[in-house]
A and B are shown apart, each in its own frame.
Chain A
Amino acid sequence: MQGLTQATLEFVKQYWAPLVCGLAIVAVLPLIVGYVVLVERKLMADMQARLGPMRVGPHGLLQPIADAVKLLIKEDIIPDDADKLVFWLAPVLSVGAALLAMAGLAIGPAFQIAKDINIGILFVVGVSALGIFGIVLGGWASNSHYSLMGALRSSAQLVSYETAAGMALVCGLLFAGTLNITSIVQAQHEQGMWFGLLAPVAFFVYLVASIAETNRAPFDLPEAESELVAGYMTEFSGFRWSLYFLAEYTNMIVVASVATTLFLGGWLRPFPRTHWLDFIDFLPPLLLVAIGVYCLMRTPKQPARVQQLFMLAVAGLCFTVAVVLAAPVLLRTPFVNPSLASAAKPFYEGIHGGFWFIFKVSAYLYFFMWLRFTIPRYRFDQLMRLGWHFLIPLSIINVLLIGIAMIAGSYLHLEGGWLLLATIPASIIALIVALFILAMEQKSERQQAGGATPDPYA
C-alpha cells in the first residue's frame, strides 16, 4: 500500500501537466467548437449577403451558448427497436476518437499534451480513423433504412479517401524523414521552406482528401439536409447529436492541424531561415493593431452605448495581444542587449509559434467553409470516382516521383529552395500522368456504355 501511494504521487508529479492540459482541452473544446460554428454561420451569411445570427448577445456572440443550452435540455428520443447499447456507444466512439487525436498535436514547440511521441503524426491520423465506427454503428443502431444507407455511404467515403490522404502524408514525410511532430517542424526549419511549397500536389491531395474525411461540402452527401434526411445522424437528438457535431468539428480541427504541421510549417513563419525576410515577424502585431484600429473607428457608429463599450473592449483586447506579440520580436532586434535577446527566444518561439499555428489552422478552416458555401455537392458515384480513379493514382505516382526527385536532389546536392527545382517538375509530371489516366478511363467509359444510369451503390 505504501508503495502504491508513493508511486501514485510520483506519477502525478511527473505527468500533472499533460493531465491538466488534456482535461482543459476536453472541457474547453466544446466552447471553441461552438464558436467555430458561429464563425461558419457568420461567413455563410456574409457570402450570402446577409447578417447571420445577430439576436443573442452582441452581434450574435452568445449564440453558441444558447445552442448548447437548447441541445442539452432537448428530449432524448431512442427509436423503438434500436439496440440500446450500440445507440449509446456510437456518438461516444466518434467523440472519443476525435478528442484522443487532439492529444497528439503540437501547437508550439512546447505546447504538446503527449510529448515526443515517436509516431506522432501517424498516431493522430490512425486514432482519428477510429471515428468511422461511430458513424457505421450509429447508422446501424438507429434501426432505420435511411440511417443505415447514409452510414454505409459515409463510411465508404471515409475509407476511400483515407488511402489518398495517407499517401499524401507519406509524400510530405519523405521530406521530413521522421514521424515525430516536433522533428517534422524542425526539418521544415532546416529546409527553410514549408513542405507544402516543396510538394504542392501532395498538399492539394491532402486538402481534398481531408474535406472528404470530415464529411464536409462538397463531399457531404451522406449528411446533407436535402439528401437522406440527415444520414446516420437522423435518429440522434439533443445531446447525442451535439456529440456527433462536436466530433465533426473536432475532426476538422485535427485534420487542419495535421496539414498545418506537415505541409504549412507548423509554428514557423513563412521562410523561417531567410534573414532578409525577418520583417515578416512584425506582421502579426501589425495585423492585430490594424484590427484594433478598425474596431476603434467603428465605435462611434454603434447605435447603443453598450455596443460602443463592447467595441472598445474588443479593440483593447486586440491591442493587448499585439503588445504581447510585439515584445519578443522587439527584444530580438539588434538594438537590444544580446543576452536579453537570447532570453526572449523561447518566448518568441512559443508566442509567435502559437500565433502562426492558430493562424494557419484558421486559414485552412476558412478554406473549408469557403468551399462549403461555393461549390455544389458531389453525387455519390462522382465522389467515389474522384477518390479511387483520380486521387489515389495521383498520390501514389506523386510519392514515386517525389522520391526520385529527392534522390536526384541529394546527388546534385540541392538544398532548401534549390530542391524546388527537382520537386516541382516531379509534381507537375505526376499531375499530368494522373489526369491522363483519368481521361483515358473516361474515354473508354464513354465508348462502352451509351447511356446507362449510374449505379448509386457503386
Chain B
Amino acid sequence: MPLRILMLDQVIFYFFAAIAVVSAILTVTRRNVVHSAIFLITALLATAGIFLQLRAEFLFIVQIILYVGGIMVLFVFVIMLVNLDVAVRQLQFARQKWVAMLISLALAAQVGLMLWSTGKMPGQGMPVLVAAPVDKLPPNSEAVARSLFETYLLPFEIASVLLLVAMIGAVVMAKKRA
C-alpha cells in the first residue's frame, strides 16, 4: 500500500480519536447542558470520521444525517425547553460519584487488560487476520443495501415498526393534555 495512504490512515485515525475522547470527557463534565450537547455533537462527528476512515461511507453519512442532524437536534430542542437557570448552580454530580467512578475504572482496567493480552494489539504481532486492501472493497452503499434488503430484510421491517411505535410514543408522551 502506498506510504501516503498508510500515513493518511494513521493521521486521520489519531485526529478523530483524539477529538472523540476529548469531546466525550467534556460532554460528561460540563456544567452547562448546552455545552455538553455541543461537545456531544463534536464527539459524534468524530465517530463519523472514524467510520469514514474505516471505509464505511454509508454509515458515515447515516451517522451525520440521523445522529447529528436528527437526534442531537431533538436533544437541543428539549434542552431549550427544560432549561432551568437554577439547575446550573446546583450540584452537577451525584453523591455516589467517587464509588461509581472507581467501579467504572475497574471495569475499564479489566477490559483493557483482556484486550491487551489477546495478541491482536499493536506491537504484539500475531495478526491472524489482515483487512482487505482498499481498492478491493466493493462499493459501500451497494453492499450495505444488498445486505439490508436480502439477508436482513426481517430486522429491517421490524426496525421500521419500532420507529413507528417510538414516534407514536413520543408524540403521546409530549402532548399537552387538551
Residues of B within 8 A of A (CB): 2-4, 6-8, 32, 34-35, 38, 41, 57-58, 60-61, 64-65, 68-69, 72-73, 76-77, 80, 139-142
Contact between B73 and A132, CB atoms less than 8 A apart:
yes
7 pairs from A and B in contact (CB 8 Å cutoff) = A3-B7, A7-B6, A11-B4, A125-B65, A136-B73, A152-B80, A159-B73
Contact between A129 and B38, CB atoms less than 8 A apart:
no
New A-B pairs, 16, CB < 8 Å, besides A125-B65, A129-B65:
A7-B3, A10-B4, A11-B4, A86-B34, A86-B38, A118-B139, A119-B58, A122-B61, A126-B64, A127-B64, A132-B69, A133-B72, A133-B73, A137-B34, A152-B80, A178-B141
Contact between A119 and B61, CB atoms less than 8 A apart:
yes
7 A-B pairs with least C-beta separation:
A7-B7, A10-B4, A126-B65, A129-B69, A126-B64, A11-B4, A7-B4
Contact between B38 and A119, CB atoms less than 8 A apart:
no
Task: Tell me, in angstroms, the Cα distance from A133 to B72 when the chains sit together.
Answer: 9
Contact between B3 and A118, CB atoms less than 8 A apart:
no
Contact between B77 and A152, CB atoms less than 8 A apart:
yes
Residues of A within 8 A of B (CB): 3-4, 6-7, 10-11, 14, 83, 85-86, 89, 117-119, 122-123, 125-127, 129-130, 132-133, 136-137, 140, 148, 152, 155, 159, 162, 178-179
Tell me, rounded to whole Å, the shortest Cβ–Cβ distance linking A114 to chain B. 11
Contact between B35 and A85, CB atoms less than 8 A apart:
yes
Chain B interface, DSSP helix/strand/loop, else mixed = helix
- A126, closest chain B residue (CB): B65
Q: Which residues of B contact A133 (CB under 8 A)?
A: 41, 72-73, 76
Contact between B69 and A126, CB atoms less than 8 A apart:
yes
Q: Which residues of B contact A132 (CB under 8 A)?
A: 69, 73
Chain A interface, DSSP helix/strand/loop, else mixed = helix
Contact between B3 and A10, CB atoms less than 8 A apart:
yes
Contact between A14 and B4, CB atoms less than 8 A apart:
yes
Q: Which residues of A contact B65 (CB under 8 A)?
A: 122, 125-126, 129
Task: Tell me, in angstroms, the Cα distance from A7 to B2 when the chains sit together.
Answer: 9
Task: Tell me, in angstroms, the Cα distance from A32 to B34 when the chains sit together.
Answer: 35
Q: Which residues of A contact B68 (CB under 8 A)?
A: 130
Tell me, rounded to whole Å, the shortest Cβ–Cβ distance linking B12 to chain A. 11
